[in-house]
Amino acid sequence: MKKISIIFFLLTASTLFADTISEEDIFLYRHSLKERKFSEAQDLLSKFQNLKIDQTKLELLETELWIAKGEDLYTKKNIDPLFPTIVMHMLDGGRIQ
């Protein structure tokens, strides 16, 4: 019984002192993405990486950053979708104009 209580205490103590990301940190990260403050979001992402979070969660947050950056570029530069350009090029017989 003594061993079980010691193991339980150690497991509980290790989870309390483990570096984890709070829901507030994730909210701040997503809010900075929404506000297009990418350097702030990148700093938070670096903080998450230093905390050694789960790799899949880190990759998901990284993907959200890249999607937000891509959407921002699309709206700022008003980039035309590539598909119609390719179709028009194919319909034109493949000639470059």
Contact call for residues 44 and 25 (beta carbons, < 8 A) = yes
| 53 part of a folded domain | yes
Q: Is the pLDDT of residue 36 over 60?
A: yes
For 61-96, how does the pLDDT look when each residue is reduced to its tens digit (9 = 90+)? 999 999 999 888 888 875 555 555 555 555 555 444
In a domain, 15, yes or no: no
Q: What's the pLDDT score for residue 65?
A: 93
Average pLDDT, the chain: 75
pLDDT at 16 (0 to 100): 46
CA distance 8 to 66: 41
How many domains does one find in the chain?
1
- CA atoms of 34 and 76, how far apart (whole Å): 15
CA–CA distances in Å: residue 3 to residues 16, 42, 74: 20, 44, 60
Say if 7 falls within a structural domain. no
d(Cα 21, Cα 45) in Å, to the nearest integer? 11
Q: What per-residue confidence (pLDDT) applies to 61?
A: 93
Residue 12 reports pLDDT greater than 60? no
* Residue 82 falls inside a structural domain: yes
Rg (CA), the chain: 23
Mean pLDDT of 2-13: 56
Domain membership of residue 62 (yes or no) is: yes
Please indicate, yes or no, if residue 57 is contained in any of the structural domains. Answer: yes
Show the domain range for 73.
Answer: 22-91
Residue 33 pLDDT more than 70? yes
Domain for residue 77, yes or no? Answer: yes
